[in-house]
Amino acid sequence: MHKYILKRLLMLIPVLIGVTFIIFTLSYITPGCPATMTLGETAPAEAIEALRQEWGLDDPFIIRFVRYVADAARLNLGETYATRRPVMEEILTRFPATLQLAVMGLFISVLLGIPLGVISATKQYSLFDNLATIFGLIFVSIPNFWLGMMLVVFFSVNLGWLPPSGFETPAQWILPAFTLGTGQMAVVMRMSRSSMLEVIRQDYIRTARAKGQKESVVVWNHALRNALIPVVTAVGLTFGFLLGGAVLTETIFSINGIGRFMVQSINSRDNPVINGGVLFLALSFSVVNLGVDILYAYLDPRIKSQYK
């Protein structure tokens, strides 16, 4: 098992370097001189030139890239143009809100999606199954930024039940979490349904029934434990969508997270923040996927025993 985790960790390194390469290349091709952006158009030319020298902006691409990777490895993502504060610091103060939002979205998608998918599969072609399938398609298709706004219009403005913005109190959590979670809930539900349909036809399910096992145990223990294996992979991808979707959801609900910070920086062309944010979220996503891979091995003894 340790071998497996170690192997996964090692495989993470080239991916992270690759991601960093993409982000760096994008910042490299972005028009506009960072030194000018930092000091402002009106700054004296010598000051700008001095800062260019300090940051080594005239060095060749590859040297700048290596420096970028080395900085990133030391958790240094540069400074914001606007405040000249370290981007990492700004991101870390906002990360808890983003993480909380994404985790709540994950809870909604997993805790609702998996049971709904399982029930749908065990009652294939029933009214419940048909409705679940149709609503699943609808929820996958609704853009979450629009869903968020409509929820605000309905629940905050019309009914006055829930606050339209902020993320401090539990009442403020509900709308953003559902905005972010419903689409992925539908994804998880569809995935669970099809995986369950596959498993429920297997011979070992018949064996469990032939033992005299209760149908509920057959479904929720024997079948689900097998059906979850592919679903876990989907949930890993779901977390990526949730991190990405947080950008939009935070904007709608004025949540002070990384996503809203990035969107604000788009308007002020503060590219170090955008790139730093994307890099940071991509790294978080990779770490989550590493966790998913380990969980996967835990769920599927066939993988575990390969690395004994």
Chain residues 74-133 in contact with other proteins, contact rule CB under 8 A:
133
Residue 228 Cα to chain centre, angstroms: 20
Least distance between other proteins and beta carbon 204 (Å) = 4
Any contact of residue 267 with other proteins (CB under 8 A)? yes
Residue (47 or 232) nearer to other proteins, CB = 232
Contact residue for other proteins among 208, 219, 235, 255 (CB under 8 A) = 208
Q: Binder to other proteins among 3, 84, 123, 225 (CB under 8 A)?
A: 225
Binding residues with other proteins: total (CB under 8 A): 78
Is residue 61 at the binding interface for other proteins, with CB under 8 A as the rule? no
61, containing H or E segment: helix 61-73
43 binds other proteins (CB under 8 A): no
Please choose, out of 56-64, 88-96, 172-180, 273-281, the segment that lies near other proteins by the rule CB under 8 A: 273-281
Burial of 12 (0-12, 13-18, 19+ CB in 10 A): middle
Q: Which is nearer to other proteins, 47 or 156 (CB)?
A: 156
Q: Does 160 bind other proteins (CB under 8 A)?
A: no
Are 179 and 148 in contact by the 8 Å Cβ rule? The answer is yes
Q: Is 222 in the site for other proteins (CB under 8 A)?
A: yes
Does 10 bind other proteins (CB under 8 A)? Our answer is no
Site residues for other proteins, 17-36, by CB under 8 A, read: 18-19, 21-23, 26-27, 29-31
Kindly state whether residue 281 participates in binding other proteins, applying the rule CB under 8 A: yes
DSSP 79: B
Listed ranges 38-46, 72-80, 106-114, 202-210: which one lies at the site for other proteins (CB under 8 A): 202-210
DSSP 8-class letter at 41: T
**Which residues, numbered 235-254, are part of the site for other proteins (CB under 8 A)?**
240-241, 243-245, 247-248, 251-252
Rounded CA separation 79/60 (Å) = 21
How far apart CA 278 and CA 273 sit, in angstroms, is 8
> Which lies closer to other proteins via its Cβ, residue 11 or residue 43?
11
262 binds other proteins (CB under 8 A): yes
Q: What letter would DSSP give residue 307?
A: G
Determine if 162 is a binding residue for other proteins (CB under 8 A). Answer: no
Shortest CA distance to 172 belongs to which of 259, 249, 261?
249
Amino acid at 64: R
Least distance from C-beta 160 to other proteins, angstroms? 11
CB of 31 to other proteins, least distance (A): 7
- Structure token pair of residue 248: 């939009």
**Cα gap 142→178, rounded to integer Å:** 12
CA–CA gap between residue 12 and residue 22 (Å, rounded): 15
Site for other proteins in 134-153 (CB under 8 A): 134, 137-138, 140-143, 145-146, 149-150, 152-153
Distance CA 291, CA 29 (A): 34
| End-to-end Cα separation, the chain, in angstroms | 6
Residue closer to other proteins (CB basis): 3 or 50: 3
* Helix, strand, coil percent content, the chain, rounded in steps of 5: 80, 0, 20
